[in-house]
């Protein structure tokens, strides 16, 4: 064990000891029986105060902040040459639902946030319809973290260069269920050749996590006939998460 790792363990132990002392002090001050705190996971505090050094090319073993830092300086593919900002993703960790699209558009590239343009606002309305949002129980990300020129689909080598970041995100975010928006996202994460039309409507699995496939919000804005299939997919998400939906008149 390295000196850094020993210090991290000592810090976690000291934090637990401090918590126990706080419980004892409360018992003395109040004169009442106190329910002592169970073991608390201080790993996020330790990662902030004493982060482990990260190899610039390493993905496994990173925490979310370290992974975001790796993404911000990534030059593994040609997409890095034209970006304004990388778009790592945003939302709640751990998440009940993780939504994965294909890549940033112009507005996302300009501000560094995922799904903030017209399609992003439309996605937010989808989530709202099943009592979910990115501030309370959803995490949103993309297959690639840099904008493809003219919003074209990312090329296979670009997906291959970036997919490791997304896979590590999934490990760290620990979603209960994943919703893949669009064919690029579905093919890339599930490693299948089929498009949305053949993949949606049934559950798939990624690393043991249930996965549903639906149309991309941008595609639905162009083709309103996809609205009903998307609603059916969203209802499946809600049912899996045991979210009660209001009756529609």
**Across residues 145-172, what is the average pLDDT?**
96
Mention every residue, 6+ apart, whose C-beta is less than 8 A from residue 158: 77, 78, 79, 144, 148
36-51 tens-digit pLDDT: 666 677 777 877 787 7
Please indicate whether residue 188 or residue 10 has the higher confidence score (pLDDT).
188
Phi-psi region of 242 (alpha: psi -120 to 50; beta: other; left: phi over 0): left
Place of tokens 């039309």: 197
Instruction: Kindly state which CATH superfamily the domain 54-240 is placed in.
Output: Uracil-DNA glycosylase-like domain (3.40.470.10)
Task: Grade residue 18 by pLDDT with cuts at 50, 70 and 90.
Answer: confident
Query: 181 phi and psi, to 5 degrees?
Result: -105, 105
Of 233, 237, 172, nearest to 207 (Cα)?
A: 172
Place of tokens 């099943």: 130
Task: Grade residue 71 by pLDDT with cuts at 50, 70 and 90.
Answer: very high
What distance in Å separates the CA atoms of residue 114 and residue 98, rounded to the nearest whole number?
A: 12
Longest dimension (CA), the chain: 68
Of 59, 61, 66, 68, nearest to 89 (Cα)?
A: 68
- Going from N- to C-terminal start, the domains of the chain cover 3-43, 54-240
Q: Angle, to 10 degrees, between the axis of helix 118-129 and the axis of helix 227-240? A: 50
Task: Grade residue 33 by pLDDT with cuts at 50, 70 and 90.
Answer: confident
Instruction: Mean pLDDT check: name the lowest of 8-12, 40-44, 114-118, 182-186.
Output: 40-44
């Amino acid at each position: 064990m390295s000196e850094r790792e020993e210090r991290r363990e000592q810090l976690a132990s000291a934090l637990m000891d401090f918590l126990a002392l706080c419980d004892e002090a409360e018992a003395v001050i109040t004169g009442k029986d106190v329910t002592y705190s169970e073991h608390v996971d201080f790993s996020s505090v330790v990662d902030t105060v004493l982060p482990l050094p990260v190899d610039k090319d390493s993905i496994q073993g990173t925490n979310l902040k370290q992974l975001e830092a790796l993404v911000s300086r990534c030059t593994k593919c040609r997409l890095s040459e034209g970006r304004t900002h990388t778009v790592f993703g945003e939302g709640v960790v751990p998440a009940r639902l993780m939504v994965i699209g294909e890549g940033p558009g112009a507005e996302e590239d300009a501000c560094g946030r995922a799904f903030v343009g017209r399609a992003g606002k439309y996605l937010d309305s989808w989530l709202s319809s099943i009592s979910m949002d990115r501030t309370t129980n959803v995490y949103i990300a993309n297959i690639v973290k840099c904008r493809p020129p003219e919003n074209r689909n990312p090329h296979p080598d670009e997906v291959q260069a970036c997919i490791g970041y997304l896979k590590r995100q999934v490990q760290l975010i620990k979603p209960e269920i994943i919703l893949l928006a669009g064919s690029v996202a579905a093919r890339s994460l599930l490693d299948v050749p089929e498009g949305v039309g053949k993949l949606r409507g049934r559950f798939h699995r990624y690393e043991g996590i249930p996965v549903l496939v639906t149309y991309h919000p941008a595609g639905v804005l162009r083709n309103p006939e996809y609205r009903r299939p998307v609603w059916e997919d969203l209802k499946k998400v809600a049912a899996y998460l045991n979210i009660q939906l209001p009756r529609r008149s």
